[in-house]
Amino acid sequence: MRVGSKHITRHATLSHGVGAFMAGAAAVLTLPPFSMLALVPAAYGALFLLVRDRIPLVAGAMGWLFGLGYFGFGLSWIAESFQIDAERFGALAIPAVAGLSALLALFPALAMALFILLCRSRLVGGVVASFLFAACWAGAEWLRGHVLTGFPWNLAAYALADFDALRQPAAWLGSYGLSFLVILASVLLAQAILARGASRWLTLLFFALVVGGLWVSGQVRISRPMPEATGISLRIVQGNVPQRNKWAPGSAPATLSRYLRLSAQGDPVDALLWPETAYPGFLDENEDAKRRIEESLRGGRVLLTGVPDRTARGAEPRYFNTIQAYDGSGTILTGYAKHHLVPFGEYVPFGDWLPMDRLTAGLGDFTPGPGPRTLAVPGLPLLGAAICYEIIFPGHVVDDEIRPNWIFNATNDAWFGTSIGPEQHLASARMRAVEEGLPVIRAANTGISAVIDANGTIIEALGLETTGIIDSGLPAALPATLYARAGDWVLPPLGIAVWLIALGLDRSGSRRTGFHRLKSRRSE
């Protein structure tokens, strides 16, 4: 009988593990470009139900399997970049995605194990357990965004990125705080399914307060009139140069001709915006290229473009991924060097020990810049610069000392074709706009270029693998948000408030529903 019981238990644990993996995969569908909002409580609620009465080790394993499904499917687009030079890197595509997913899955594993440990120490359940689950998840996301180089891609909060009102609380809580509320609402709904009688109604009341609070506060924010437009005219140029051709020998003149031709279309504008590494070479060292740009900038226009740069340091030059501002005389007015570099794309971590090449051709490893800075370009409002995936880091895209009036995000997502990666990248840019209360102007080589206002609304956009321009006025900035002023320091007060509520509910003797006193299940 005992043998049979163990067999049944192990079979159930295996099936639950498969369920956790599938729930993680389903959670990907909650994110852009799918944005299936109904799956948010289904996916995260399922994870809660799968771990709620486990021992910490098994709960951690369930969290890891959830993360494996979440990151394995959510980051599958990374494999596209290995096919650009398939002869050298194609065989690494699947192992790279699998390895990265397995590593990132350690964060939800940690969250689930910690959740069970905290619940055991307090012997809590019901609404209190929902609070703790959400806090552990949000804490793990924060760690994922900061440990080593950080990788805060596809935060749970981004399930709300496509919904105008629901994404607005990021202005006060940031994306990590909004993730907490997303997970809290999901688990409360799962708890309500398990509850009975008055406890079910109490749990549903909390769920309604969270969801209603998100929507109402967001509606209030977006219903306020926007400030008058700046009067600054911009032209975003999407050259749509395939990544395979971008760095081909002799390609630079043709690429420059394409960008100059597109830039000359339409009426005169105040500024031209080109994407990351729009010119595949050292522009400031090429007199012919600078002369051609000078001719296109006559009339007082300025050009903001992504270009590689290098400076000599002893016998070895240092390379930078930069944004440079040019005026009509070909003079560099100012510049910004990317500080959050892409591992294995712009540098090889632990390069002395890892015998492998970067995915990007030519040049050496890039050197990180000093960090976010505000640029003063004559004729334009103060601007902040973010290159490529720097835009995914909440609270780390704007100079803390001098607040800009807008953010210029130059990127090259050509590496990822028409996969879901560029859509997810765009969602991050929208969330940064809300958090900072600043418009984000996005120039992408193959898309998605966009004009995003300070509420995260897309005013205009150019789709993937489209050649063209966007002519638009520069939207106005909003006053600095709470998150823009305080950053992640808003999270400790939120955590303290949540913990006090949890203690209050626990001490008041509220009925525990669906999360009974935890017992070790050693057979697992």
Q: What is the pLDDT of residue 340?
A: 87
Higher pLDDT, 245 or 179: 179
Higher pLDDT, 112 or 82: 112
pLDDT tens-digit readout, 452-482:
999 999 999 999 999 999 999 999 999 999 9
Give the model's confidence band at 203: pLDDT under 50 very low, under 70 low, under 90 confident, else very high: confident
Positive or negative: CA dihedral 297, 300, 306, 308: positive
Distance CA 233, CA 477 (A): 15
Q: What is the pLDDT of residue 507?
A: 56
Q: Which of 80, 119, 136, 276 is catalytic?
A: 276
Distance CA 204, CA 92 (A): 47
- Residue indicated by tokens 């807008």: 406
pLDDT tens-digit readout, 149-172:
899 999 999 999 999 999 999 999
Q: What is the pLDDT of residue 123?
A: 58
Q: Which DSSP letter does residue 347 get?
A: B
Q: Which of 80, 136, 338, 435 is catalytic?
A: 338
Buried b (16+ CB within 10 A) or exposed e, 185-221: bbbbbbbbebbeeebbebbbebbeebbeebeeebeeb
For 407, phi then psi, to 5°, come to -120, 130
Check if 388 is active-site.
yes
pLDDT tens-digit readout, 223-280:
999 998 889 999 999 999 998 888 888 889 999 999 999 999 989 999 999 999 999 9
Check if 119 is active-site.
no
Q: For 103, how many CA atoms within 13 A lie in the half-sphere containing its CB?
A: 12
Model-wide pTM > 0.85: yes
- Average pLDDT, integer, range 74-100: 88
Q: Please give the CATH architecture assigned to the domain spanning 233-477.
A: 4-Layer Sandwich (3.60)
Q: Which of 80, 246, 388, 423 is catalytic?
A: 388
pLDDT tens-digit readout, 282-321:
998 899 999 999 888 877 789 999 999 998 766 678 899 9
Q: Is 37's pLDDT higher than 90?
A: yes
Q: Per-domain residue ranges for the chain?
A: 2-81+92-224+484-507, 233-477
pLDDT tens-digit readout, 482-512:
999 999 999 888 777 766 765 565 555 444 4
pLDDT tens-digit readout, 338-379:
998 887 767 666 555 555 555 555 566 888 999 999 999 999
Give the CA diameter of the chain: 88
Edge to edge, what strands does the sheet with 449-452 contain?
A: 374-375, 383-387, 406-411, 440-444, 449-452, 458-462
- Average pLDDT, integer, range 103-124: 89
Distance CA 173, CA 489 (A): 9
106, with CB counted inside 10 A (0-12, 13-18, 19+), is middle
Higher pLDDT, 523 or 375: 375
